[in-house]
Amino acid sequence: MTADERDSLAELEGHLGHSFSDPTLLLTAVTHRSFTNENSRGGQPHNERLEFLGDSVLGLLVTELLMTQCPDASEGYLSLMRSRIVSESSLAELARSMDLGRALRVGRGEELNGGRDKPSLLADAFEAVLGALFVDSGFAVCQAAAQRLLVPLVVQAHQHGGSDEKSALQDLLQRLRQARPRYEVIATSGPEHEKTFDVAVYLDDRRLAVGSGRSKRAAEQAAAGQALQVLNQELA
């Protein structure tokens, strides 16, 4: 490990408010598969297993914070907020604020292609860091880190409100590496000056949900909100 790598890991520990009992866990959390593939003789594992664990830890942390910060919110609203907070773009911005890109260990190809600032790599690495923190010291330490790092995201999402369900649905599907949703008007009713639109939202050929509204946009937002609830229930 170089001196710069040691410094960047120490900086990460500062952001987390925790010094690792097993520093190799944090090193693994910032090691991308491309680095491991190019340095197979070193025996350094990559971060995908810790990312898998960290994804679940993150979901629980954000859910707990939302339940605390939004005590009167409905399940649908909480699902929307959680989807927005754990989206790839949101996590990538959080990772940038921690200068996580500096600590990433990536292969030469990823380095040349700007891998240190790729939203997907940054978001995945942040989840891996949470996974490493959980393995190193348990959930209570993760909760303390969440107070430092995630509460501002929760407050910001809550202040923004739940008005953009379509963006939240797209963020969730992007995070799940799924296709973009497709919206289709399936019915209209009422007089011309007071129409009600029924819109279905599809994922490939699957109809996820249907929403109604006095405009196509309002119906699409309602359908996206229903789809978010369906998907979050399936992921729970």
Burial of 171 (0-12, 13-18, 19+ CB in 10 A): buried
Catalytic annotation, pick one of 55, 64, 111, 198 = 55
pLDDT in tens, the chain (236 residues): 677 778 889 999 999 999 999 999 999 999 999 999 888 665 779 999 999 999 999 999 999 999 998 888 777 778 778 877 888 888 999 999 999 999 999 999 889 988 899 998 999 999 999 999 999 999 999 999 999 999 988 887 776 665 567 877 887 888 788 889 999 999 998 888 778 899 999 999 999 999 998 888 888 988 988 898 888 778 76
Q: Cα-flanking dihedrals φ and ψ of residue 3, to 5°?
A: -65, -40
Provide CATH code, domain 3-160.
1.10.1520.10
Residue 91 burial (C-beta neighbours within 10 Å; 0-12, 13-18, 19+): buried
Indicate the fold that domain 166-235 takes in CATH.
Double Stranded RNA Binding Domain (3.30.160)
Q: Which CB contacts under 8 angstroms, 24+ apart, belong to 114-121?
A: 115/32, 115/34, 119/88, 119/89, 119/92, 120/88, 120/92, 121/32
Q: 187 by DSSP, 3-state: which?
A: strand
Q: What is the predicted pLDDT for the residue at 42?
A: 58
Query: How confident is the model at residue 89, as a pLDDT?
Result: 83
Catalytic residue among 110, 124, 127, 171: 127
Residues of the chain with CATH 3.30.160.20: 166-235
Q: Alpha-carbon distance 150 to 173, whole Å?
A: 21
Give CA separation, 65 vs 13, 72, 157, 205, in Å.
22, 13, 12, 35
| The overall pTM is greater than 0.95 | no
- Per-residue pLDDT at 161: 61
Which residues of the chain form CATH 1.10.1520.10? Answer: 3-160
Q: Is 38 a catalytic residue?
A: no
Residue 194: predicted pLDDT: 78
127 classed as catalytic: yes
- Count of positions (residues) in the chain: 236
